[in-house]
């Protein structure tokens, strides 16, 4: 008797099922999250536009130009001494990068303080550089100039030292200019220390220490 009842209910269940019924897609009946319905926003990185305080016409007259240029975000020692303005960029010439860094200060005290502290902790190894000593202080072609209002550094591993000599020439063009320190070095040589006063470049001797 029980077997007959089970058979009856099974046949009734089969009879109530339509052969045309299709499986239900759960994604169609489940409510979608609000975030999924909203169009996704494409975030685009805003690149800073390159600007410079340099006289581009003067650079062109002295055969300084570049194929491309980009801002440099490298942190530097002179920036710890509150410069009022910082200008840093890399430019490429025939595929060879040159880095230009300039820190401007309020007065001669701040400029000299930043320079001397930088020489006490120079480069990635924070090495002490002795004023006037002829030694290789960085494994790149290098130019550094310091006066009462600013410090300027240019360095390059691949471009010729002649590229940096063009920059040095420009900074010595002004008859009123006075540079307390000028450092020029090839990547394989020793740094030469000079200053520039009254339109004359003089050699800086090593500091004598007892």
Residue 143 lies in a domain: yes
User: Quick one: which of 103, 84, 93 has its CA closest to 153?
Assistant: 103
Could you give the number of structural domains in the chain? 1
Cβ–Cβ < 8 Å for 102, 88: yes
- Domain membership of residue 24 (yes or no) is no
Residue 113 lies in a domain: yes
User: For the segment 97-126, what is each residue's pLDDT rounded down to a tens digit?
Assistant: 999 999 999 999 999 999 999 999 999 889
Give pLDDT tens digits along the chain (210 positions): 444 444 444 444 333 433 344 444 434 444 444 444 444 444 434 456 788 989 999 999 999 999 999 999 999 999 999 999 999 999 999 999 999 999 999 999 999 999 999 999 999 889 999 999 999 999 999 999 999 999 999 999 999 999 999 999 999 998 788 999 999 999 999 999 999 999 999 999 997 544
- Domain-embedded: residue 37: no
**Is 36 domain-assigned?**
no
* Coil vs helix vs strand at 16: helix
Q: Can you give the pLDDT at residue 124?
A: 86
Domain range for residue 169? 56-203
Residue 100 included in any domain: yes
In a domain, 29, yes or no: no
């Amino acid at each position: 008797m029980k077997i007959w009842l089970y058979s009856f209910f099974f046949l009734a269940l089969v009879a109530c099922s339509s052969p045309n019924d299709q499986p239900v897609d759960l994604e169609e009946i489940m409510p979608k999250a609000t975030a999924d319905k909203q169009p996704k926003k494409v975030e685009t990185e805003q690149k800073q536009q390159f600007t410079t305080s340099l006289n581009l016409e003067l650079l062109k007259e002295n055969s300084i130009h570049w194929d491309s240029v980009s801002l440099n975000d490298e942190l530097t020692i002179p920036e710890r001494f509150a410069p009022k303005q910082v200008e840093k960029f890399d430019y490429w010439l025939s595929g060879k990068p040159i880095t230009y860094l300039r820190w401007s200060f309020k007065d001669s005290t701040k400029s000299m303080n930043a320079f001397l502290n930088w020489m006490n902790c120079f480069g990635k190894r924070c090495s002490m550089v002795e004023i006037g000593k002829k030694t290789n202080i960085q494994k790149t072609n290098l130019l550094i100039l310091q006066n009462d209002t600013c410090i300027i550094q240019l360095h390059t591993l691949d471009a010729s030292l002649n590229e940096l000599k063009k920059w040095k020439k420009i900074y010595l063009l002004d008859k009123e200019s006075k540079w307390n320190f000028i450092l020029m070095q090839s990547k394989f040589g020793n740094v030469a220390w000079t200053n520039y006063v009254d339109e004359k470049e003089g050699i800086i001797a090593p500091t004598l220490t007892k």
